[in-house]
Amino acid sequence: MAQLYFYYSAMNAGKSTTLLQSAYNYRERGMQVEIFTARLDDRYGIGKVSSRIGLQAEAHLYSPETNLLDLLGNIQKTDSHPGIDCILIDEAQFLTKEQVKQITHIVDEFDIPVLAYGLRTDFQGETFQGSHYLLAWADKLVELKTVCHCGRKANFVVRRDSSGHPIRDGEQVQVGGNDSYESMCRKHFRELIW
């Protein structure tokens, strides 16, 4: 029986690397894997999932308007493989509530496992919509860990301006990497943001 997995963490915990390793493992066994990533994050190319250690793979793009059930149906119509064995979703924090419902439908009705990878919280310590519903509805929750500069587990992300000062307000979504964000433990996040 298929399940919905949510692999979550702060930035720089290896979510994309873990996703790409999972894709490799399925494909090595002759299984069909489809990878999805958010259209808004094109730092490493359009339609690609890339890890900081240099691994990458082609991916289908989704935006808030994308119906994942329709997209899956279109992929199955054009694919020569008899069926999809697993769906991997990068940047899952950007999914909408409706899209998380759609992936639960894929798991429950089509018996296809879905492995979603994303941030748990934004730079203000608030959950993203996708993360909120994945935390509530996933069958399995798996925390990927990274460390704060102090050595404690980092489970928050601080957004910084071009001068390195912490930002406390602004739009929830601003695509960026190590130049804009830093993962921190709650203590250091609290000292800067709360």
The CA distance from 52 to 61, in Å, is: 20
Write out the DSSP string of 128-185: PHHHHHHHHH-SEEEE--EE-TTSSEE-EEEEB-TTS-B--SS-S-----TTTEEEE-
The CA distance from 194 to 35, in Å, is: 36
Describe the chain by its helix, strand, coil percentages, rounded to 5: 30, 25, 45
Specify the pairing of strand 153-154 against strand 146-147. antiparallel
Specify the pairing of strand 56-58 against strand 60-62. unpaired
Length, in residues, of the chain = 194
Residue 91 among the catalytic residues: yes
| Catalytic choice (28, 34, 58, 91) | 91
Q: Is 47 helix (H, G, I), strand (E, B) or coil?
A: coil
Instruction: Look up residue 156 and give its amino acid.
Output: F
Residues annotated as part of the active site: 91
